Amino acid sequence: MNILKIKELLNEINNILKVDSVGMHEIYDDRLHPLSTTKNPFCSVEEWKAKHEKFKVKVSQEASLKRTMNKEIVCIEDTSKDPESSKEFFEFGIKSLVVFPIIKNDTVIGLITCISISKPRIFEKEKIVQVENKIKEFIENKEQIKDNR
């Protein structure tokens, strides 16, 4: 897997959405496995990975992640007011997020999270579509993602 190309994609997404952090996760064994993230002003990459290890987020137990596994883009503009917000969102300090499925061969193999920690925010539809297309292009043209399941 080309981690430099993944980091480049995450930075491009961050430039489009202007969020606090963009992270890529693989999904296998019903868990999120952090792969890479952009710089986050609120925690280091090591802290980000350690939190994932501590909380062991189960995809099948979180409403928003179940939707992502059904190939939906999930957008939560204020986690404090959304019933699908998981307790882990609050542990990570997430105020708003967009979650994009990574789909390869018609299967969700991972996800990209775009989070706002500093404050809740509204995500523009055209920016979400732009990011969705960027992810599809990355998967189709570069084949940078492998399925570890």
Q: In the predicted model, is pLDDT for residue 101 greater than 50?
A: yes
For residue 149, give Cα distances in angstroms to 70, 99, 108, 118, 140: 17, 20, 11, 34, 19
Place of tokens 């290890």: 53
- The pLDDT tens digits for 129-148 are 999 999 999 988 755 455 44
- The pLDDT tens digits for 20-51 are 999 999 999 998 888 899 987 777 888 888 88
Full-model pTM:
0.89
Which residue type occupies 46?
Answer: E
Average pLDDT score over the chain? 87
* Distance (Å, whole) CA 28 – CA 46: 21
**Residue 42 in contact with residue 15, Cβ under 8 Å?**
no
Angle between helices 3-17 and 125-137 (to 10 degrees): 170
Burial of residue 127, with CB atoms counted within 10 A of its CB: 0-12 exposed, 13-18 middle, 19 or more buried: middle
- Residue ranges and CATH numbers for the domains of the chain are 21-137 (3.30.450.40)
3-state SS class at 29: coil
